[in-house]
Structure 1
Amino acid sequence: MGGLTEAKLRALAGERSFERGLAYTDEVSGVEFGDGWIRASVRGTERYEVELLLGGRGMPAGMCDCPYGQEGNFCKHLVALGLTVIAQEADLPRLRNAARDRTRGLDAWLTGMSRDDLLALVREEMAEDRNLRKRLELRAASARGDVAGIRSRISELLDSGPFARYGYVEYADVHAYADQAAQAVDAIRSLTASGQAADSMALAREVIGMLAAAVDNVDDSDGRLGEIGAGLADAHHEACRAAGPDPEELARWLVAHALDDAADLTDIGPLDYEDLLGGQGMAALRRYAVEAWQANRTGWAEKHLMQRLAKSGRDIDTVIAVHAADLAPNGHTHLLIARELDAADRTADALEWAERGIRETEDLATVDTALIDHVADRYTRTGRPADAVTLRRDHFAARRTLLAYQQLRAAARAAACWPTEREKALALLRDDAERADPRGGRVLVDILLDDGDIDAAWRVAGEYGAHDGQWRTLADRLRPTRPADALAVYLRLVTRLTRETGNRAYEQLVSLLLGVRDCHRRLGKPDDFTAYITDLRAAQKRKRNLMRLLDDHGLSGS
Structure 2
Amino acid sequence: MGGLTEAKLRALAGERSYERGLGYVDAVSGIEVDDGRIRASVRGTERYEAELVLGGRGKPTGTCDCPYGQEGNFCKHLVALGLTVIAEQADLPRRRETARDRARDLDTWLSGLSRKDLLALVRDEIAEDRQLRRRLELRAASARGDLAGIRSRIRELFDIGPFAQYGYVEYTDARAYADQAGQAVTVIRSLTTSGRAADAIALAREAIGMLAAVVENVDDSEGRLGEISAGLADAHHDACRAGRPDPEELARWLVTHALDDAADLTDIDPLDYEDLLDERGMAALRRHASEAWKANRTGWAEKHLMQRLAKSGRDIDTVIAVHAADLAPNGHTHLLIARELDTAGRTAEALEWAERGIRETEDLATVDTSLVDHLADRYTRTDRLADAVTLRRDHFTARPTPLTYQRLRAAARAAACWPPEREKALDLLRADAERKDAHAGRVLVDVLLDDEDVDAAWQAAGEYGAGDDQWLTLADRRRPTRPADALAVYRRLSAPLTRQTGNHAYEQLVGLLLSMRDCHGRLGTPDDFTAYTTDLRTTQKRKRNLMRLMDAHGL
Normalising by structure 1, report the TM-score.
0.95
1:111-510 equivalences in 2 (<5 Å)? 111-510=111-510
Secondary structure in 2 aligned to 1:62?
strand
User: Secondary structure of the equivalent of 2:217?
Assistant: coil
Cα distance in 2, alignment partners of residues 360 and 530 from structure 1: 64
- Provide, for residues 428-469 of structure 1, a one-character-per-residue CA deviation record: whole Å limited to 9, x for no partner: 111111111111211111111111111111111111111111
Tell me whether 99-108 or 111-120 shows the greater mean CA deviation. 99-108
Contact 2:29 2:40 in 1 (8 A): yes
- 1:412 & 1:93 partners in 2: Cα distance? 76
Q: Which segment drifts farther, 514-523 or 76-85?
A: 76-85
Per-residue CA deviation, residues 3-51 of structure 1 (Å, 9 max, x unaligned), is: 7554443344332221121233354343334454331223446643212
The one-character-per-residue Cα deviations of 1:216-260 (angstroms, maximum 9, x if unpaired) are: 111112221111111111111111122221111111100000001
> Partner residue of 2:10?
10
Post-superposition offset of 1:74: 3.1
Amino acid in the other structure paired with 1:297: R
Structure 1 gaps of 5+ residues are: none
1:48-94 deviations in Å (ceiling 9; x for gaps): 32122444999654332446545654322111122344555676676
The CA distance in 1 between the partners of 2:259 and 2:150, in whole Å, is 28
Q: How far, CA to CA, are the matches of 2:178 and 2:3 in structure 1?
A: 34
CA contact (8 A) 1:24 1:80 kept: yes
Change (3 A) 1:8 1:368: closer
Q: Mark the CA change 1:6 to 1:463 in structure 2 (over 3 Å): closer, same or farther.
A: closer
> Is the 8 Å Cα contact of residues 188 and 204 (structure 2) preserved in structure 1?
yes
Q: What SS does the corresponding residue of 1:169 show, helix, strand or coil? A: coil
Q: Does 1:511 align with 2:499?
A: no
Q: For the residues of structure 2 that align with 1:57 and 1:489, how far apart are their CA atoms?
A: 55
CA distance in 1, matches of 2:221, 2:8: 29
Q: Which moved more, 1:344-353 or 1:169-178?
A: 169-178
Contact 2:197 2:242 in 1 (8 A): yes
- Cα shift at 1:145: 2.8
The change in CA–CA distance for 1:373 and 1:266 in structure 2 (over 3 A counts) is same
> 1:67, 1:171 within 8 Å by CA — same for their partners in 2?
no
CA offsets, 1:100-130, max 9 Å, x none? Answer: 5543443333222211111111111111111
Judged with a 3 Å threshold, the aligned counterparts in structure 2 of structure 1 residues 536 and 178 are, in CA distance, closer, same or farther, namely: same
- What letter matches 1:22 in structure 2? L
CA contact 1:31–1:38 (8 Å) conserved in 2: yes
Contact 1:145 1:191 in 2 (8 A): no
**Count of residue pairs brought into register by the alignment:** 555
The answer to whether the Cα contact below 8 Å between 1:516 and 1:529 also exists between their aligned partners in 2 is yes
Partner residue, 2:25:
25
Report the residue type matching 2:475 in the other structure: A
1: distance between equivalents of 2:288 and 2:36?
Answer: 55
After superposition, the Cα gap between the structure-2 partners of 1:3 and 1:477, relative to the gap in structure 1 and judged at 3 Å, is: closer
Deviations 1:340-376 (A, max 9, x none): 1110111111111111111111111011111111111
Could you tell me the TM-score, scaled by structure 2's length?
Answer: 0.95
| Cα distance in 1, alignment partners of residues 93 and 206 from structure 2 | 51
Distance 1:3 1:453, change over 3 A: closer
Where 1:51 maps in the other structure, the secondary structure is strand
In 1, Cα distance between equivalents of 2:132 and 2:281: 43
* Separation in structure 2 between the aligned mates of residue 100 and residue 310 of structure 1, nearest angstrom: 58
